[in-house]
């Protein structure tokens, strides 16, 4: 399973692609950080992030996109901006016809370190170990995007479905509200769209064989 993990942010948006085989072995395909300068107006910044996400989807053809939950109880202004980035990321996955999952930060930390309260250094260390990298990916946004991808491949939960599923959770005493799964029809549609997209993008030489 190939997963694109996204750590949403307007200044730095982590983008990591991971392959995970049925025995849960994970390998890194790509990692990068989409950046946008504060010299640009907000809509040009979001456009840059959108372009970067489209580019990574087009180049690495993930089967599913996973993103980290944004919490609404944090600083209102930065949350609003991050929520806009999340909208851009969701729309990018939707336009590519891919299923999309949301994971909370504590799910991500717990999946890769075994501790839902792990700090950034622990996450970076474990991501490097899981992926067999010489050193931890930097900056933290890059490592986080890989952690989100690994988390999704290992847990397999959090897929967005129809009706009533929310892409925001309000955390109260550790209880989290965002969950969902694709309905069978949704799943079929998503798979058909993804297949069509892959077919459209396939190397012509491969078609002859």
14-43 residues near a copy of itself, rule: CB under 8 A: 38-43
Question: Is 52 an interacting residue with respect to a copy of itself (CB under 8 A)?
Answer: no
By CB under 8 A, residue 165 contacts a copy of itself: yes
| 141 flagged as catalytic | yes
Strands (E), the chain: 2-7, 12-20, 26-35, 64-68, 100-103
Please tell me the distance from the alpha carbon of residue 12 to that of residue 4, in angstroms, as a whole number.
Answer: 16
**Within 87-116, which residues bind a copy of itself (CB under 8 A)?**
87-88, 90-91, 93-95, 99-100
Look at residue 4 and give its three-state secondary structure.
strand
Q: In the complex, what is the shortest distance from the CB of residue 29 to a copy of itself, in angstroms, rounded to a whole number?
A: 21
- B/e letters for 107-144, b = 16+ CB within 10 Å, e = fewer, are bbbbbbbeeeebeeeebbbbbbebbebeebbeebbbbb
The alpha carbon dihedral of 168, 32, 141, 158 has a sign of positive
Contact status: 57 vs a copy of itself (CB under 8 A): no
Catalytic residue among 19, 61, 68, 144: 68
Residue 100 C-beta: closest distance to a copy of itself, Å:
4
Which stretches of the chain bind a copy of itself, using CB under 8 A?
38-51, 65, 70, 72, 76-77, 79-81, 83-88, 90-91, 93-95, 99-100, 159-168, 170, 180, 182, 186, 190
Catalytic residues: 7, 68, 141
């Amino acid at each position: 399973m190939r997963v694109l993990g996204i750590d949403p942010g307007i200044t730095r948006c982590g983008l990591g692609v991971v392959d995970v085989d049925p025995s849960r072995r994970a390998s890194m395909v790509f990692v990068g950080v989409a950046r946008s300068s504060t010299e640009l107006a907000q809509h040009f910044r979001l456009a840059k992030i959108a372009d970067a996400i489209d580019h990574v989807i087009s180049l690495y053809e993930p089967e599913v996109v996973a993103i980290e939950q944004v919490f609404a109880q944090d600083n209102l202004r930065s949350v609003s901006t991050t929520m806009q980035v999340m909208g851009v990321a969701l729309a990018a996955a939707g336009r590519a016809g891919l299923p999309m999952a949301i994971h909370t930060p504590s799910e991500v930390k717990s999946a890769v370190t075994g501790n839902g309260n792990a700090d950034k250094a622990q996450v970076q260390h474990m991501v490097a170990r899981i992926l067999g990298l010489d050193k931890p990916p930097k900056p933290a946004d890059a490592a986080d995007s890989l952690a989100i991808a690994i988390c999704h491949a290992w847990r397999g939960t959090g897929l967005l479905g129809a009706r009533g599923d929310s892409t925001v959770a309000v955390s109260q005493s550790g209880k989290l509200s965002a969950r969902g799964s694709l309905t069978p029809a949704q799943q079929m549609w998503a798979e058909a769209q993804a297949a069509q997209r892959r077919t459209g993008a396939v190397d012509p030489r491969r078609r002859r064989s």
